[in-house]
Structure formats: structure tokens, C-alpha cells
């Protein structure tokens, strides 16, 4: 996968051609529509609206699939000439891609542990953009009458969990261990969407997923709330990658994820405030 950066220049209204040519030559790849704001890297980083144009590749946790598609479209509308492409997977898979040098600009994981392990590959302090909680997803209408975490230990119940190296799998183990419960899953999946799919397709009776994932499948799966004192909080940090070829644009996108507009989209999708 390769990224291309094609600067686009738009002349200011009353500037003559004789004056415009040397100005553009002096400015290089800057966007004249943003006037002096793109004259320095500090200005473009400080203001998302002044972000330089680029084709950005964002590696994001699978649980962000739906909301980030909406957020990406919103960002592109606000920043004409910028394209945001997403690659969704389990956070552990994304970390492996970064370590292998996959071309990308921004990383957003579903836990701080994974992000902390990539300090040498990211730039700046990661910004937590949202939080999430766990719920039990069941078949539509909850035919097996699952009421709580303890019910997941029943031998006649087919339970699917995420693998322990996946953030949601680690959170699931945390809440089960806290209640001294042993669950024997019929399968361990590579990301939360795979867990949800197994339940939705009837290949499992129940599974532990994020609240937002269960809400994305409303009407297709049932949801059993896990009490706060038994639950775990998932944090979603975002950071620009050091190897990005569009460092200013990547930093601007990360900063935009904390703006009121982006936060509103996350709240509407069921994510909690950071």
C-alpha cells in the first residue's frame, strides 16, 4: 500500500499572475487557501482546519469500525482534498503491522497497554479519545435466558470470547477472574467484531463484547448489562506514527478526534467520554 501526497494550490482572489508565481515558488507545497497558517508546522498542528492535505491511512481497533467511517467522512468534508482511509483489526494485529513497517499515519487502539508498547513507533503523547464498557451479547431475544456473568459458566451454553492477547479478550478475562468464574469458550476470536458475528449468526449462544458493538447490532442480538462493580473500562488512545509521510496531517487528525464535533459522534455511537 502506497500513499500519495498531491498538494493543491488555489490563488487568492485579487492577486495578479505576476505576483502569484513567485509567491507559490516561495511557499513550496503549502496551501494558499489557509494563508499564513500553513507557513509553519506549529500553526498547522495547532489548528485542525489548517491541516495540510494528504491521503491518510488510519489503523484503528475493530470496535471503532462504524463510528470511524462516519468520522472519516465528516473530516473529509471539513478538509477538502484530504482522504482518510481506515484499516480495522484487533489492536494486537495493528501493533504487529506497525512493527512490520506497514505504511500508515495514525494508530488508535482499544487499550493503553498496546499503545504503550509502541512508544518508539509513535510521536507525541497519545490522546485518549473515548472509553467503553463490556456487555454480554446473546442470541436475538436471549433464548438461553442469560442473566449475568455466572450463567456463562453453564456447560450447555456455547460461549465465544476474544483471544486473551486481544484487548477485549483481556478485559473479559479480567472481569471473569474478578468474579472467580471459569468459562470454557467454544472459540477464541481475533477481534470483538468476530465475537459479535458468531453470536449474531447463531454459532454461539453468548459472548462478551463492548457495549458499542452490541448497540451496532441492535435487533440482531440481545444485550445483558454487566454491573459497574463487575465491569472493566476500555480506553482508546490515538497517536500519529513516526514513519508517517504526512506527519502534520496525521497530528491534525489525531487532534481533531478530541474536538467537540468528533466527540459528539463518539457519544452518539455509545462511547463514553475520555
Q: Mean pLDDT of residues grouped by 10 in the chain (274 residues)?
A: 37 36 38 34 43 88 97 96 96 97 97 97 96 97 97 97 96 97 97 97 97 95 97 97 96 97 97 95
- Topology agreement, domain 54-130+236-268 and domain 132-233: yes
Alpha helices in the chain (DSSP H): 17-27, 41-46, 65-78, 91-99, 112-116, 167-178, 192-200, 211-216, 247-256, 260-268
Choosing among 3.50.50.60, 3.60.15.10, 3.40.190.10, 3.40.50.1400, the CATH entry for 54-130+236-268 is 3.40.190.10
DSSP type of residue 218: B
> CA-to-CA distance for 125 and 113, rounded, in angstroms?
14
Q: What is the pLDDT of residue 94?
A: 97
> Which pLDDT belongs to residue 44?
38
- 132-233 sits in which CATH class? alpha beta
Side-chain-side CA neighbours of residue 242 (13 Å): 11
Question: Which DSSP string corresponds to 56-120?
Answer: EEEEEEGGGHHHHHHHHHHHHHHSTT-EEEEEEE-HHHHHHHHHTT---SEEE-SSHHHHHTTTT
Residues 6+ apart with CB under 8 A from 11: 20, 32
- Structural domain spans, the chain: 54-130+236-268, 132-233
User: Which pLDDT score, from 0 to 100, does residue 50 have?
Assistant: 58
Q: How far is CA 92 from the centre of its chain?
A: 13
Radius of gyration of the chain, Cα coordinates, nearest whole angstrom: 22
Residue 193 near residue 61, CB atoms below 8 Å:
no
Residue 60 cell numbers, joined: 484503528
- Rounded distance between C-alpha atoms, residue 98 and residue 107, angstroms: 9
The torsion angles phi and psi of 58, rounded to 5 degrees, stand at -115, 120
pTM > 0.75: yes or no? yes
Here the cell at position 266 is 463518539
End-to-end alpha carbon distance in the chain: 32
Beta carbons within 8 Å of 82's beta carbon, 6+ residues apart = 51, 53, 54, 55, 56, 75, 76, 249
> Would you state the pLDDT for residue 191?
96
Amino acid at each position: 500500500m502506497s500513499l500519495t501526497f498531491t498538494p493543491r494550490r488555489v490563488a487568492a482572489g485579487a492577486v495578479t499572475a505576476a505576483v502569484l508565481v513567485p509567491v507559490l515558488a516561495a511557499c513550496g507545497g503549502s496551501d494558499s487557501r489557509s494563508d499564513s497558517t500553513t507557513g509553519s508546522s506549529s500553526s498547522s498542528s495547532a489548528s485542525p482546519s489548517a491541516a495540510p492535505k494528504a491521503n491518510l491511512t488510519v489503523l484503528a481497533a475493530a470496535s471503532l469500525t462504524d463510528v470511524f467511517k462516519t468520522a472519516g467522512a465528516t473530516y473529509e468534508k471539513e478538509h477538502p482534498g484530504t482522504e482518510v482511509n481506515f484499516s480495522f483489526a484487533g489492536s494486537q494485529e495493528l501493533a504487529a503491522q506497525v512493527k512490520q513497517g506497514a505504511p500508515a499515519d495514525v494508530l488508535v487502539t482499544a487499550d493503553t497497554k498496546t499503545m504503550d508498547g509502541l512508544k518508539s513507533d509513535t510521536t507525541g503523547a497519545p490522546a485518549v479519545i473515548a472509553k467503553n464498557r463490556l456487555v454480554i451479547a446473546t442470541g436475538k431475544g436471549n433464548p438461553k435466558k442469560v442473566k449475568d456473568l455466572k450463567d456463562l459458566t453453564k456447560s450447555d451454553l456455547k460461549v465465544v470470547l476474544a483471544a486473551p492477547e486481544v484487548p477485549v479478550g483481556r478485559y473479559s478475562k479480567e472481569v471473569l477472574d474478578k468474579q472467580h468464574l471459569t468459562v470454557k469458550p467454544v472459540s477464541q476470536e481475533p477481534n470483538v467484531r468476530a465475537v459479535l458475528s458468531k453470536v449474531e449468526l447463531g454459532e454461539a449462544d453468548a459472548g462478551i463484547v463492548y457495549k458499542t458493538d452490541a448497540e451496532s447490532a441492535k435487533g440482531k442480538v440481545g444485550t445483558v448489562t454487566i454491573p459497574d462493580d463487575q465491569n472493566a473500562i476500555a480506553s482508546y488512545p490515538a497517536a500519529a506514527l513516526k514513519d508517517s509521510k504526512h506527519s502534520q496531517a496525521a497530528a491534525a487528525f489525531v487532534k481533531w478526534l478530541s474536538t467537540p464535533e468528533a466527540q459528539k459522534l463518539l457519544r452518539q455511537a455509545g462511547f463514553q467520554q475520555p
